[in-house]
Amino acid sequence: MEDTIQDQIKILLQQKNAILLSHNYQPPEIQDVADFCGDSLELSIRAAETKAEVLVFFVVHFMAETAFILSPQKTVLLPRLDAGCPMADMVTPEALKARIQSLPGVPVVTYVNSSAAVKALSTICCTSANAVEVVNSLEADEVLMVPDRNLARNTAAQTDKTVHFWDGYCPFHDVLTSEMVTAAKAAHPEALFLAHPECLPEVVAMADAAVSTSGMIRFARESAATSFLVGTEVGMHYPLQKACPDKEFIMVSQQMRCDDMKKITLEDVLRCLQSMDGEVKVPEELRVPALTAVERMIAVTAS
Ligand code: 13P
Ligand code: SF4
């Protein structure tokens, strides 16, 4: 009998001392073949810790780039180099430099959903799992958060600091309205509502928990509730249901579908492992300052 594509991938992974890392939004067949699934923070930490020499990512570009920033001695592969994050593209280093000049002395807190060049201009990075902790770790009374205006405003609601923000947003999280959540709550009055911090502030204000994608899995596991409305990208349904098979998860909107997160197929992974094409690298002059910002974030999260 011929090897399945999953078998062929596993053989190549062993031969090349490689592992597969997947974001929680990836399609089920991708998550099932991955060695590790997680949110942005967990993926970067796991990538730095593993002894594997080759890291193959089922993610969008900035997540693979962050792994390379932390582990330049490893080979970081992204089977589809065109899998990007539209929000990350909403800030360029040139535009950020101009904004920094208009806010002298104000530290820049950059969401990991950003390019290495933007991270390189930043004081510290954050993810949806640690944004409040990161902002509160800074001594300054004012911060500039880049590029997600919703994450910035949701963080501002939980800190005494003045938060200046960049006008970027996730095109999929930004479309979830409070009216949609009100209608979903009316249809499922028993359900708790989980929102991602990239959602609008008025949506996050309605949430029982506003947490990262892996934070949602932990919350659902630990909660006594058995039914949840979920305000994030539709791919989240699979890992939530897998983690809690006896609980019910209802996606508030099926429109929240990030096409870039669905680009990589198993065939792409097989091809990538065979050819070792799709390498993600960052030049040293950007990697070193970007590393400082990422390492500062990890130190805050670990402390
Ligand atoms: P998490 O870090 O919560 O997984 O979020 C990443 C992301 O891109 C959400 O849209
Ligand atoms: Fe970027 Fe939004 Fe896609 Fe997350 S869901 S990768 S923030 S575009």
Averaged over successive runs of 10 residues, the pLDDT of the chain (303 residues) comes to 92 97 97 96 92 96 96 97 98 98 98 98 97 98 98 98 98 98 98 98 98 98 98 98 98 97 97 97 98 96 78
Contact by Cβ (8 Å): 249, 50: no
**109 strand-pairing partners:** 124, 145
- 67: phi > 0 → left, psi -120 to 50 → alpha, else beta; which? alpha
174 lines ligand 1 (CB under 6 A): no
154 lines ligand 1 (CB under 6 A): no
Q: 233 CA to middle of ligand 1, Å? A: 9
Ligand nearest to the CA of 195: 1
Q: What is the pLDDT of residue 262?
A: 97
From the list 76, 78, 25, the residue with the least C-alpha distance to 240 is: 25
> Rounded to whole angstroms, how far apart are CA atoms 177 and 194?
14
> Rounded to whole angstroms, how far apart are CA atoms 31 and 38?
10
Helix (H, G, I), strand (E, B) or coil at 21: strand
Ligand nearest to the CA of 257: 2
Q: What is the pLDDT of residue 301?
A: 87
Q: What is the pLDDT of residue 302?
A: 78
CA-CA-CA-CA torsion sign (110, 112, 115, 121): positive
Q: What is the pLDDT of residue 80?
A: 98
39 lines ligand 2 (CB under 6 A): no
Q: 266 CA to middle of ligand 1, Å? A: 22
209-255 per-position pLDDT tens digit: 999 999 999 999 999 999 999 999 999 999 999 999 999 999 999 99
> Rounded to whole angstroms, how far apart are CA atoms 21 and 208?
29
Neighbours of 186 (CB within 10 A): 8
Contact by Cβ (8 Å): 172, 222: no
172 lines ligand 2 (CB under 6 A): yes
Q: What is the pLDDT of residue 32?
A: 96
Q: What is the pLDDT of residue 104?
A: 96
Q: What is the pLDDT of residue 2?
A: 82
86 lines ligand 2 (CB under 6 A): yes
Burial of 128 (0-12, 13-18, 19+ CB in 10 A): buried
Neighbours of 156 (CB within 10 A): 19
> Rounded to whole angstroms, how far apart are CA atoms 191 and 151?
24
Q: CA-CA-CA-CA torsion for 198, 202, 206, 208, nearest 10 degrees?
A: 30
Q: What is the pLDDT of residue 1?
A: 75
170 lines ligand 2 (CB under 6 A): yes
Say how many Å lie between the first and final Cα of the chain, rounded.
52
260 lines ligand 1 (CB under 6 A): no
Q: 172 CA to middle of ligand 2, Å? A: 7
Q: What average pLDDT is seen over the chain? A: 97
